[in-house]
Amino acid sequence: MRIVSTVWIKTVIPCCLAPVLCLAGVAQTSSAASDTQAFCPPIAIGADVSFLPQTEASGHHFSDSRGARPGLEILREHGYGWVRLRLFVHPMTLPNDLSYTIATARQAKALGFGILLDFHYSDDWADPQHNNVPKEWARLSHAQLVDQVFAYTRDTIAQFRTAGVLPNVVQIGNEITSGMMWPDGKLPDNWNHFNGLLLAAARGVQEGSRPDKRPAIMIHIDQGGNSETTEWFFSHLIAAHVPFDIIGQSYYPWWQGSLKDLRDNLAYMAKTYRKPIIVVETAWSWKPDNYTKKRGPFDESPEGQAEFLRAVAQAVADTPDHLGKGVFWWEPAVGNDLVRRGLFDDNGKALPALDVFDGCMTPPQATPPAPHSHEYK
């Protein structure tokens, strides 16, 4: 079995121990609002907008108190400084292929957003219940799959760079608690294969971004309120010397526990791993939803949703040693059943949660991360 080199030399990075310290979207108090009026946690504020272009192209419109405008513009004006964009390999029914995602990244960058690219390494949704290898890669041996992951990642990142939208942060896999590219990288049975796939992906990010600065690499799991599973997962990665810069967590209360559970795990991760942490997916419904394991104390109402977002952002900002670095909503502007968890109502009008970061502003352009000169030997 061929294993990609596991050596990842760390260098001192001035200004930022990790890029999120210097990211666009770190809220700053606007001169138009007093400190008592503005809720401006010193973290990156972002949203996954992967459905937004498709939703608007289908005829949906979004508006706030200033009237109807493109959704990205509304988010930017309400304190959001980051977008997260998912990418499938060859999607059959979903829009998130390479050309669609690059086009969305261009729109976002033109408005000054930082960009987080979410590789799913699948043709469809990848999460702990579904993480199937792309159809075209299904017959590859493990060694061939490692080569394919490296080449695909390298070439994809290079195309983003050529298009002028090299991501600031790249997550290599989506909610990969149960592994990725099943069956080859499925956990807990295939840790060696899984680690090899991650190493290939990390090397692909590095090579594809040359000669520019390497994007920060995020590892994303779905255990925002579970320190035990978090420890199980990251202990294996660290033992295998898998390189990463940022820990990403999903936090949905009906799956990942109470706000106290989230706070406890944020503190655990900060103390144990000493790396920046982003809650890269979170949401709460503004009207009754069909989940049965919801945990309060938030109402399923417009006001309850706003209270939830404020509480999660505060929990991240309170992470010990300032290692809580961001919160991303999933997804704010949609026209399907997910509208219950969006930041706009059934008619596309902004809900109170969209105003949580009003009175804050973000830099006019996305501040790139500090140089990443980590290299493989």
Active site members: 175, 281
Q: How many CA atoms lie within 13 A of 75 on its CB side?
A: 29
Q: Which residue has the tokens 């991360």?
A: 369
Phi, psi (rounded to 5 degrees) for 64: -130, -160
d(CA 29, CA 23): 16
- For every residue of 235-274, DSSP letters joined together read HHHHHTT---SEEEEEE-HHHH--HHHHHHHHHHHHHHH-
d(CA 54, CA 8): 39
Phi, psi (rounded to 5 degrees) for 86: -85, 155
d(CA 9, CA 375): 6
- Using CB atoms within 10 Å of the CB of residue 34, give its burial: 0 to 12 exposed, 13 to 18 middle, 19+ buried: exposed
d(CA 208, CA 226): 34
Q: Is 5 left (phi over 0), alpha (psi -120 to 50) or beta?
A: beta
d(CA 145, CA 133): 9
Residue 310 is which amino acid? R
Provide the 8-state DSSP code for 213.
P
- Using CB atoms within 10 Å of the CB of residue 67, give its burial: 0 to 12 exposed, 13 to 18 middle, 19+ buried: exposed
Q: Which of 172, 154, 165 is nearest to 103 (CA)?
A: 165
- Show the tokens assigned to 85: 């964009």
d(CA 49, CA 52): 5
Q: Per-residue b/e over 23-33, b at no fewer than 16 CB within 10 Å?
A: bbbbbeebeee
